[in-house]
Amino acid sequence: MNFSKFLPERSKKDFSNNKSSGNSDYLSYDLFYQLAYMSSIAAAGIPRSQIFEFASQLPCASSHYFAEIHLLAKKMRYDYAVACRIVGESAKEESVKGLLLRLSSSLGSGEPESEFLAQEAQIQAEAFKNEYERGVESLKKWTEAYGALIVSAALIVMVAAISMLIYPVATWIAVSLVGVTIVISILGAWAIYRVSPKEIRVHPQVLNCAAHSRAQHLARILIPVSIAAFAVFMMAGVGLGWALMVAGALLLPIGIAGTIFDRQVTKKDSDISTFLRSLGNVASAIGVTVSNALDRLDLRSTANLANDVKRLRSRLISRLKPELCWQRFSLETGSETIYRSVKMFNDATRLGGDPEEVGNRSSIIAMSLDFLRAKRAQVSSSFVILVLGMHVALVALLLFVTQVINIFSKTVEGVYNQAVASAPMSTVQIFSFSFKNVHMLGTLVVPVILALAGANAFAIKAADGGNKYKLYNYLAVTLGVSGAMLVFVPIMAEKIFSSIPKMS
C-alpha cells in the first residue's frame, strides 16, 4: 500500500522540488546519500523516531519510504521494525525492498541503529561505486559504437545520393532514407544518455553563485536573440550557412559560462571532503564547537572554497543562525554534492555527534564522486575530440559528394541526352543516368546536417555530464562548423572542378 497520500503537504513539496525525486535513474545516488546521512545522525545517539523523522525530510527519491515508515509508527502506532517490513514488502525497487527488510530484522533483533546504518552506508557506497563504474564502462563501449553508428548513417545518405544519379529512384525512397539517417542519429545520442552514469551536480536552488548567475543571464538573453537572428538571416535570403554560424556564435558565450561554472563546481566538490574532515578533526582535537574550529582552520589545502568559507565565517561571527549560515554557504557554491555533505555534517554535529566521526562520514560522498568523475572524464574527453572531428569530416564529405554530383550532372546532362537519342536501346538500358531528382540532393542533405549537429552536441553533453548550459557550448561548435561547411565546401568544390569544360 502506498501511504504517500497521507504525508504532509510540506513533505510532498520537498520531494517535487528535487530533480531526483521519483526518478529511478537517481535512486542509487539518493540511497547512498540517505544511508550516509542516517548513519551520521544516528552516531549522535538520537532516538529512533528522530532518525526516521530527519530521514523522511530529505529531498531524495528514497525519502518517501522513510516518511511512510515514520507515518505508520507515529500515527498508527506500529513498531518501527514492523513498519519497515510493511513498507519494504510493498516497495517496487529491489534495492529499497532489501534494505528495508534488513532494517526491519535489525531493529527487531535489538541491534543499535548506528552500527547497522554505518554498515549499510558502506555497502551502499560500494554498490553506488560499482554501478557508476559499470556505467562508465558501458559509456566507453557506446562511445566507440557511436562513431560507427553516425558514419553508417552518413553513408546511407551518400548511397541515396549516388542512387538518385544512376537510377530514377522514387522521391519517397530518398526521403525515407534521410528519415532513417535522422532517426539513427537521434537513437545513438539517446543511447549515450541512457548508459551514462547518473548524478546531480548542480543544486536546483542555487543562490548568488556568480558563475551560475552569469550563465543563466546569458541564456535568457542570447537564446531568443540567436533564434531571432537565425530567422532574420533566413528571411533576408543570406543563406542557411551564415544563419547557422551567427546562431552558433550567439550561443557560444552561454556554453563558455556553463563550462566555467562546471569547472568551479568540480573543483569545490574535490575540496569539500578535505574541508569537512579537517574541520571535524580540529573541533574534536581542541574540544571546541564547529563554529570556533572554523576560525582556526587553515584554508590553504582547500583554496577553491576559501572565499565561500570566509563569507561563512563572517556570517557566523555576526551571530546569525548557524543552520541558515551553513545552508547559505552550500547553496552559494551551486553544488548538490556540497549541499548534501554540508547538511549531513551540520545536522549531525548540531544533534550532538562527534565532529571527527561526523566529518569522516560526511566526506564519503564527495570523496567517492571525485574519484568516479575522474574515471568518467577519461572517457568523455576523448569522446569530445572524436565526435567533433567526426562531425567536421562527415558534414564536409556529405556536402562535397552532393556538390560533385550536382556539378557532374550539369556538365554531362546535355551531351548525355544527345548520346542517348542516337544510341541503341540495349546500350541505354545498361549505361543510364537520371538527372531529374538531382536538384533535390541539396534540400535532403540539410536536415541530415542539422540532425547530426543536434545529436552530436547532445551526445557529448550526455557523456560529459554537468550543468545544462554546457550543451550550448557543443551546440554552438556543431552549428558553427555546419554553417561554415555549407558556405565554403560548395565554393571549394566549384574551384576544384572549374577546370572541367562543360560538354555540349
Tens of pLDDT along 300-342?
878 888 888 989 989 988 888 888 899 899 888 889 999 999 9
Whether 211 is covered by a domain: the verdict is: no
pLDDT band at 12 (very low <50, low <70, confident <90, very high): very low
Task: Specify whether 322 is located in the same domain as 394.
Answer: no
> 363, 379, 399 — which closes off a domain?
363
Average pLDDT (81-88) is 91
What is the torsion angle, in degrees rounded to the nearest 10, for the CA atoms of residue 46, residue 51, residue 53 and residue 55? 140
Both 333 and 375 in one domain: the answer is no
Q: What is the mean pLDDT of residues 365-372?
A: 88
Residue ending a domain, among 76, 111, 146, is 111
For position 424, what pLDDT does the model report? 54
Q: Which residue has the higher pLDDT, 45 or 250?
A: 250
Work out the percent of the chain whose per-residue pLDDT is above 70: 85
- Percent of the chain past pLDDT 90, that is, above it, reads 27
Which cell is 61 given?
527519491
Average pLDDT, the chain: 83
**How many Cα atoms occupy the beta-carbon half-sphere of 156 within 13 Å?**
21
Give the model confidence (pLDDT) of 418-471 as tens digits.
544 555 555 444 445 555 666 667 778 889 899 999 999 999 999 998 889 999
pLDDT at residue 166, as a whole number: 65
C-alpha to C-alpha distances, 437 to 169, 170, 298, 405, nearest whole angstrom: 8, 9, 73, 11
Per-residue confidence band for 10, with pLDDT thresholds at 50, 70 and 90: very low
Return the higher-pLDDT residue of 222 and 17.
222
Q: pLDDT tens-digit profile of 389-406? A: 999 999 998 888 888 777
In single-letter form, the type of residue at position 336 comes to E
Task: Please report whether residue 382 resides in a domain.
Answer: yes
> Is 422 inside a domain boundary?
yes
Do residues 406 and 335 both lie within one domain? no
Answer yes or no: do 17 and 59 share one domain: yes
Question: Domain check: are 382 and 347 in the same one?
Answer: no
Of the pLDDT bands very low, low, confident and very high (cuts 50, 70, 90), residue 414 is low
Taking 60 as the threshold, does the pLDDT of residue 11 lie above it?
A: no
Which residue type does 475 have?
L
User: pLDDT value at position 434?
Assistant: 54
Q: Do 338 and 420 reside in the same domain of the chain? A: no
Residues 6+ apart with CB under 8 A from 253: 218, 222
Q: Check residue 257 and give its pLDDT.
A: 93
Are the C-beta atoms of 173 and 486 separated by less than 8 Å? Answer: no
pTM confidence score = 0.84
Q: Are residues 350 and 390 in the same domain?
A: no
455 and 375 in a common domain: yes
CB 413 within 8 A of CB 435: yes
Q: Count the domains in the chain.
A: 3
Last residue of one domain, picked from the residues 111, 145, 174? 111
pLDDT tens sequence across 164-221:
666 666 677 777 888 888 899 999 999 999 999 888 888 888 777 888 889 999 999 9
pLDDT tens digits for range 137-177: 999 999 889 988 888 888 887 777 776 666 666 677 777 88
| Residue 472 in domain | no
Residue 31 shares a structural domain with residue 83: yes
Domain co-membership, 455 together with 386: yes
Phi, psi (rounded to 5 degrees) for 457: -65, -45
The residue among 461, 455, 443 whose CA lies nearest residue 390 is 455
**Residue 13: band (very low, low, confident or very high) from pLDDT cuts 50, 70, 90:** very low
Domain match, 350 and 411 both: no
Q: Does 151 map to a domain?
A: yes
Flag whether 483 is in a domain: no
Contact 65, 38 (CB under 8 A): no
**Which pLDDT score, from 0 to 100, does residue 402 have?**
81
DSSP codes of every residue in 165-185:
HHS---HHHHHHHHHHHHHHH
Indicate the DSSP class of residue 7: S
CA-to-CA distance for 109 and 121, rounded, in angstroms? 19
Same domain, 17 and 41: yes
Which residues have C-beta within 8 Å of that of residue 382, sequence separation ≥ 6? 143
Which segments of 88-199 are extended strands (E)? none
- Backbone φ and ψ for 87, nearest 5 degrees, come out as -70, -40
pLDDT (0 to 100) of residue 360: 87
- When pLDDT is averaged across residues 220-249 and rounded to a whole number, the result is 93
Residues spanned by the domain of 179: 134-198+371-464
Write the pLDDT tens digit of every residue in 259-287.
999 999 999 998 998 899 988 888 888 88
* Structural domain contains residue 389: yes
Q: Is residue 214 part of a domain?
A: no
